[in-house]
Structure 1
Amino acid sequence: MLAHAAVHTYELSLPLLLLVWAEEFVALEVPLLGTFPATAFVLGAVLTAGYAPFGIGALPGGVLADAYGSKRLIVGCLVGMGVAFGGLALAPSLLWVAVALFVWGVAASVYHPAGLSLISKGVDERGSAFAYHGVAGNLGIAVGPLVTAILLFVVGDWRVVVGLLAVPALVGAFAAARVDVDETAAVTAADGGDSEGAGEARASGSVASLGEFLADSRVLFASAFVLAFGVAMLSGLYYRGVLTFLPDLLGRFPSLQPIEVAGYPRPLEPQQYVYSGLLMVGVLGQYVGGKATDRVPVELGLVAGYATLALFALLFLPVASLGLGPLLAVGSVLGFALFVVQPFYQATIAEYTPAEARGLSYGYTYLGVFGVGALGGALAGFVLTVADPGALFVVLAVLAGLAALCGLALYRRRRTSGPTVA
């Protein structure tokens, strides 16, 4: 829970920092390639430099989790994130920002396959564990940006703010290193083997061999896991597409214009606090979704959740333009739905994969969510550069609709043959 909160604190503070970088850096200078004006597309690409390895690294992270266990990966993740944000505080150019974000992404990438594999194999009540774990992540998502916004307002210098944000990860690494856990306590025959055998199956690190990696991958993608992977990719594109520029989009509404406050180095920007508040609603969504996975078929949860996201993508701008109250209402529903779906696809992976490949399966899942999904930021920036916010939300609605169709296909398969764990 501690590591999950730290990962998402950094992840969702970046869109707020992007607003500051847009003011400070007018162009991205890349050796041998030239100079590119800091358009929405270029700024989205800079964030993608961090978000892409955050997802792509999940696959090797899953392999390492199966081979060597989760704890050491989680400790390394926290150390790496702290070091990356320390380097970010020294960034003299937008290119340096991109490089520092890349380092952060590599370090953060191992968390989800390691942490979720630990829960799925070490906890009996998975749904509740995913719920509490999700609440911690969402507290990081909401409180992290809120703290960042307050620090930017009070301190003013974004470099000092980023340096301060590096400290919690390093403290968390020290705390995580002292925790002792049994990583296979809940593995049973229903998960693909007895707990003792499954716990020892990968202790030697044999999964690191190319043959086992390819064999496990073939087993996963020859099953219904391929549909769950499709949901993960579409979910990631929607998630990153809507959140990357959400502070900027909120700042375009008349009711959320900056307010100058005497004695402070930066104006008070209401959209930053509304952004944090809407993410805080995700805490409730994550908890409700986690609890619901123990009570309703996960496939129906996917259908309902993504259909709701499609609907409210289309409703967001028309409703939000009616005033501050409607904006907060529609944003809250969108924030709730955005996170209520996450426990459903996490639990779906657990149902459709064997325990001995659970880390690998979550590696692929977060390759889809945060690797392929990282393109959502660049996609959003491109749409905003060539079109307008209305076009962006139509694209988001299409992505959510496709995810709902994947969930429906999984539900129809379940009714005919069950989850069919490989």
Structure 2
Amino acid sequence: MAAYNRKQRSSMHNKSTLVLLNVGHAIDHMFLLIFATAATTIAADFGLTRWEDLMPYSAVAFFLFGIGSLPSGKLGDHWGRRTLMIVFFFGMGASAILASLAQSPLQLACALALLGCFASIYHPVGIPMLVQGAERPGWTIGVNGMVGNLGIALAAVLTGLLVKHFGWRPAFAVPGVLSIVCGVAFTIVAKSESTPPAKRAATQSELPRGLLARVFLVMTLAATSGSLLFNFSTNGNYELLHERFAAVTRDPATLGLLLAAIYTVASLAQLVVGRLLDRYPLKKLYLTVLAMQIPFLAMAAHAESWWLYLLQGMFMIAIFGAIPFTDAMIVRYVDDRMRSRVAGMRLAVSFGASSSAVWLLGPLVKQAGFSVLLWMMAGIAALTFTIVTWLPTQGHNA
């Protein structure tokens, strides 16, 4: 079986394809957070007095990012994953360039909505394509997760620098051009699929229907609460640092670099988790990571300056460290023939529901402040911990 997996992997992916699949994850997360990093500058350009008033305009993008995963997953299994990834790269690039041309909040919201549609392709299509035939799926997912969240770090530092020196429009346009270049490269190096995944032979035995339903329920609920934490934190971290770090600096480029450092270190947690997933029971490891989120979020609620920065780093390590588990569950429990569809269903629910975090972020912080937000996030982390205790503990897969 191992020899078959190696043969299957080598026949599907060359090294350049694997690199571009990982780069695609970075693009996916980076593009969705350019707006959050540049929100203050964009709001001022459009004549709004507060950044919080602009945040709801990006909510549709995150909603479509989630709900679009359903058709993306179905097309990935039935149409072919390579084709969908080409659409992803070109669509992300074109949407970002359109965003850079927006002349009003409504126009920007429409461009971001289109961006969300194309962004919905990656997770249900790119990750199953990446792990197909992988000998160490946990490690593969960990590396992919790390690269994806380095895209978040890149969004913070690159957007901060471009906004400071050139304005917010190049912060969308420059990455947009780079995505199109990646699309050209992927079209050239990625091998064509002879058969769509849905029409291939099964590669692993199926779980009993009742157990699979239970796993899917836990996976979806945990992913939803985890995505809420992810959206609240990644979309709010820059403004949190801007507010609580004022005694040190408010320079956008410096804050972007500081936040990029947090995201870079936090991304490394996914490498550690990925390696451990190939060696230890998933449930115990997942609960351990989730248990770290609660105290760090609670303590950060009332922290300032460098203490806030330290705690921000710690809770981001725990939030990023939890990300690989839902993809690992799909790999362990679901055959490759239908992974894109299962991932699409899970993502449509979890990302669609968690898009409310983007819509609520601005009004919530405006009315109650970051302390209330962080306590709310600690409560969500506790809820996620409770949900994961329902995961089956039978055999190695647990």
What's the TM-score once normalised by structure 1's chain length?
0.81
CA distance in 2, matches of 1:130, 1:316: 29
CA distance in 2, matches of 1:196, 1:395: 45
CA distance in 2, matches of 1:371, 1:150: 31
2:45 corresponds to? 24
Of 364-373 and 299-308, the range deviating more from structure 2: 364-373
Alignment of 1:349 with 2:336, yes or no, is no
Find the partner of 2:139 among 118, 128, 136: 128
Percent identity between the two aligned chains: 25
Alignment of 1:248 with 2:236, yes or no, is no
1:161 corresponds to? 171
2:189 corresponds to? 179
Q: Per-residue deviation at 1:377?
A: 1.5
1:208-287 pair list within 5 angstroms = 222-253=213-244, 254-259=246-251, 268-287=252-271
1:148 corresponds to? 159
Alignment of 1:15 with 2:25, yes or no, is no
Aligned residues: CA RMSD? 2.7
Q: Secondary structure at the match of 1:224?
A: helix
2:83 corresponds to? 72
Q: Per-residue deviation at 1:197?
A: 1.5
Q: Secondary structure at the match of 1:102?
A: helix
Kindly indicate whether the alpha-carbon contact (under 8 Å) linking 2:301 and 2:375 is maintained by their aligned counterparts in 1.
no
Alignment of 1:374 with 2:374, yes or no, is no
Q: Per-residue deviation at 1:220?
A: 9.1
Q: Per-residue deviation at 1:275?
A: 1.9
Q: Per-residue deviation at 1:196?
A: 5.2
2:110 corresponds to? 99
Q: Per-residue deviation at 1:48?
A: 1.1
Change (3 A) 1:367 1:112: same
2:285 corresponds to? 301
CA distance in 2, matches of 1:384, 1:74: 36
Q: Per-residue deviation at 1:6?
A: 1.4
Q: Secondary structure at the match of 2:359?
A: helix
Change (3 A) 1:47 1:220: farther
1:353-368 pair list within 5 angstroms = 353-368=334-349
1:45 corresponds to? 56
1:394 corresponds to? 375
Q: What code does the residue aligned with 2:273 have?
A: G
Kindly indicate whether the alpha-carbon contact (under 8 Å) linking 2:364 and 2:373 is maintained by their aligned counterparts in 1.
yes
Of 174-183 and 236-245, the range deviating more from structure 2: 174-183
Q: What code does the residue aligned with 2:201 have?
A: G
2:96 corresponds to? 85
1:406 corresponds to? 387
CA distance in 1, matches of 2:282, 2:160: 36
For each residue in 1:109-158, what CA deviation from the matched residue of structure 2 results, as whole angstroms up to 9, or x when unmatched? 11110012113323222112112212221221212321111111222x22
CA distance in 2, matches of 1:344, 1:304: 12
Change (3 A) 1:128 1:375: same
Q: Secondary structure at the match of 1:222?
A: helix
Change (3 A) 1:109 1:255: same
Q: What code does the residue aligned with 1:342 have?
A: I
Structure 1: any 5+ residue segments left out of the alignment? 28-36, 188-192, 200-217, 260-267
For each residue in 1:271-296, what CA deviation from the matched residue of structure 2 results, as whole angstroms up to 9, or x when unmatched? 22222221112221121111111122
Kindly indicate whether the alpha-carbon contact (under 8 Å) linking 1:39 and 1:385 is maintained by their aligned counterparts in 2.
no
CA distance in 2, matches of 1:341, 1:159: 33
Change (3 A) 1:220 1:67: farther
CA distance in 1, matches of 2:218, 2:325: 13
Report how many aligned residue pairs link the two structures. Answer: 371
For each residue in 1:93-115, what CA deviation from the matched residue of structure 2 results, as whole angstroms up to 9, or x when unmatched? 00011000001000111111001
CA distance in 1, matches of 2:262, 2:72: 30
CA distance in 2, matches of 1:383, 1:144: 24
Q: Per-residue deviation at 1:181?
A: 4.4
2:365 corresponds to? 384
Kindly indicate whether the alpha-carbon contact (under 8 Å) linking 1:118 and 1:184 is maintained by their aligned counterparts in 2.
no
1:170-209 pair list within 5 angstroms = 170-181=180-191, 197-198=201-202
